[in-house]
Amino acid sequence: MKEIEYIGYAAGILTTLAFLPQALKVFRSKKTRDISLLWAVLMIAGVFLWLCYGYANRSLPIMIANGITLLLLMVIFVFKLRFK
Amino acid sequence: MKEIEYIGYAAGILTTLAFLPQALKVFRSKKTRDISLLWAVLMIAGVFLWLCYGYANRSLPIMIANGITLLLLMVIFVFKLRFK
């Protein structure tokens, strides 16, 4: 594996794991007022397309990273709709 | 360009543009309480690494998408530090 690929993996791990503390925060506080609904909607649409892109390209890292991110975004989205 | 590449571009545009309404929201409201600081920090680190990855691979779309996302994340981060 080329050295730069490790940078790509580290980037993917960070931008995926980032959504864990955000999902936990809204789960615990039940407060989502400062989170943009449009942000959540556009992210879900975009991350879903990344998932399709990873599947079409048979890229397991892209599929895993975006699959986890999509699940965490869905948690944030449901709480955003449920608790204003 | 292969058809699937259009999906990749659409995905990149959506997950980049998503941060615009979120940055505007915190800019206008000056309220960031429901946004996780750890989310912002991990996203900035990860998106910065994606920018390096795009530069190393001479991928202009990855550089543009992550450059814009990084700027918008910096706005959110500064407001998160300035206004609790």
Find the farthest-apart pair of alpha carbons in chain B and give their distance in angstroms, rounded: 46
- Give the per-residue pLDDT at A3: 86
Tell me what pLDDT residue A47 has: 97
CA–CA separation, A66 vs A12, rounded Å? 9
Indicate the domain borders of chain B: 3-82
Low-confidence ranges of chain B (pLDDT < 50): none
Architecture of domain B3-82: Up-down Bundle (1.20)
A15 interaction partners in chain B (CB closer than 8 Å): 42-43, 46-47, 50
SS3 A34: coil
The H-or-E segment that residue A60 falls in is helix A60-82
Is the minimum CB–CB distance between B10 and chain A shorter than 8 Å? yes
Whether complex ipTM tops 0.90: yes
The pTM assigned to this predicted structure is 0.94
Give yes or no for a contact between A49 and A62, defined as CB atoms under 8 angstroms apart.
Answer: no
Q: A17: which chain B residues are within 8 Å (Cβ-Cβ)?
A: 42
Average pLDDT for runs of 10 along chain A of length 84: 88 97 98 97 97 93 95 98 89
Report whether A53 contacts B11 (CB < 8 A).
Answer: yes
